[in-house]
Amino acid sequence: MEALQIENTDKYLRITLDKEAFDGTQIMDLLEYLRTEDLVKRAQFDESILDLSKTIKKEWWSKHKSGLLK
């Protein structure tokens, strides 16, 4: 068996992972990312939320940049 198998059907995309080939934390992080993307998509935010996100990230980075880049 390969470490990663993908099966694309009419209704589903099935992803099979070999547990021994992937770290459990990596898998959970990926699943949480996909879950978050789905929730955001279903929330139907308009484009202004992206502008707000960019502003918040820019301000956060400006505030914390010096402490992170040593």
Q: How many structural domains compose the chain?
A: 1
Closest CA to 4 of 19, 70, 12: 19
Query: What's the helix, strand, coil split of the chain in %, to 5?
Result: 60, 15, 25
DSSP-derived secondary structure letter, 21? T
Mean pLDDT by 10 residues, the chain (70 residues): 92 93 91 92 85 92 85
pLDDT recorded at residue 41:
86
pLDDT recorded at residue 64:
87
Helices (H) and strands (E) in the chain, counts: 2, 2
Query: Can you give the pTM of this predicted structure?
Result: 0.54
Q: Which domain holds residue 14?
A: 4-68
pLDDT recorded at residue 5:
96
